[in-house]
Chains A and B, each alone.
Chain A
Amino acid sequence: MVLVAIGIVALAAELITGALAVLLFGVMIASVVGIIWVAIMGGIETRRALAPYGLLKPGILWLSLFFLAPLWAMMEMSLSSKKSRFDFSPSFSWEWGNYSRALTDFGPQFGRSFLYAGIATILTLLIGYPLAYVIAFRGGKYRSLLLGLIAVPFFTSYLIRTLAWQNLLSDSGPVVSVLETMKLENLMEWLHIMDNGRLINTPAAVIGGLTYNFLPFMILPIYVSLEKIDTRLVDASMDLYTSATGAFRRVVLPMSLPGIFAGSLLVFIPAAGDFVNAKFLGSPQTTMIGSSIQDQFLVQLNYPLAAAMSFVLMAIITASVLVYAKFMGTEDLT
Chain B
Amino acid sequence: MDVGDPVVKLENVRKQYGSFIAVHQADFSIGRGEFFAMLGPSGCGKTTTLKMIAGFEQPTAGHVFLEGEDVSHTPPHKRNVNTVFQQYALFPHMSVFDNVAFGPRSKKLPEAEVKTRVAEMLDVVRLGEFAQRRPAQLSGGQQQRVALARALVNYPSALLLDEPLAALDLKLREAMQIELKRIQREVGITFVFVTHDQGEALTMSDRIAVMSEGRVEQVGAPVDIYARPETLFVAGFIGSANLLPGTIVSSDGAGTRVLLLDGTQVVVAAGNSASSAALSQGNQVTVMLRPEQVVLGAEGDMKVFVTDTVFQGSSVRVVGRTSNNTEVSAIVPAGSSVKAPSVGETVSMHWHVSAPYLLEGWPETAGSTTTNVDSIEAAL
List A residues at the B interface (Cβ < 8 Å).
Answer: 230, 232-233, 235-243, 246, 250-251, 254-255, 332
What is the predominant secondary structure among interface residues of chain B facing chain A?
mixed
B204 to chain A, nearest CB (A): 22
List B residues at the A interface (Cβ < 8 Å).
Answer: 54-56, 75-78, 81-83, 85, 87, 89-93, 102-103, 106-107, 150-151, 154
Interchain CB contact under 8 A, A243 and B93: no
- Contact A235 B77, CB 8 Å, known A240-B103, A246-B106: no
What is the predominant secondary structure among interface residues of chain A facing chain B?
helix
**Chain A residues whose C-beta falls within 8 Å of the C-beta of B92 in the assembled complex:** 255
CB nearest to A254 among chain B residues: B93
**Chain A residues whose C-beta falls within 8 Å of the C-beta of B150 in the assembled complex:** 240
Q: List 8 A-B contacts (CB under 8 A).
A: A232-B87, A236-B90, A237-B102, A239-B56, A239-B77, A240-B102, A240-B151, A241-B103
10 cross-chain pairs, A with B, having the tightest CB-CB distances, nearest first: A241-B106, A240-B103, A236-B89, A232-B89, A238-B76, A241-B77, A242-B106, A239-B83, A240-B102, A238-B77
Give the tally of cross-chain contacts (CB within 8 A). 59
B334 to chain A, nearest CB (A): 46
CB nearest to A235 among chain B residues: B56
B66 to chain A, nearest CB (A): 14
Interchain CB contact under 8 A, A239 and B91: no
Q: Name the residue in B54, B75, B91 with the highest tally of chain A Cβ atoms < 10 Å from its Cβ.
A: B91
B193 to chain A, nearest CB (A): 15
**Chain B residues whose C-beta falls within 8 Å of the C-beta of A236 in the assembled complex:** 83, 85, 89-91
**Chain B residues whose C-beta falls within 8 Å of the C-beta of A250 in the assembled complex:** 102
CB nearest to A234 among chain B residues: B89
Q: Out of A235, A243, A254, name the residue touching B85 (CB < 8 Å).
A: A235
B61 to chain A, nearest CB (A): 24
**Chain A residues whose C-beta falls within 8 Å of the C-beta of B82 in the assembled complex:** 239-240
Q: Name the residue in A233, A241, A251 with the highest tally of chain B Cβ atoms < 10 Å from its Cβ.
A: A241
B167 to chain A, nearest CB (A): 13
CB nearest to A250 among chain B residues: B102
- Contact A232 B85, CB 8 Å, known A238-B76, A241-B154, A332-B93: yes
Docked CA distance A233–B78 (Å): 17
Interchain CB contact under 8 A, A240 and B154: yes
| Given pairs A238-B75, A240-B154, A255-B92, 16 additional interface contacts (CB within 8 A) | A235-B85, A235-B89, A236-B85, A236-B89, A237-B102, A237-B106, A238-B56, A239-B56, A239-B81, A239-B151, A240-B82, A241-B78, A241-B106, A243-B77, A251-B91, A255-B93
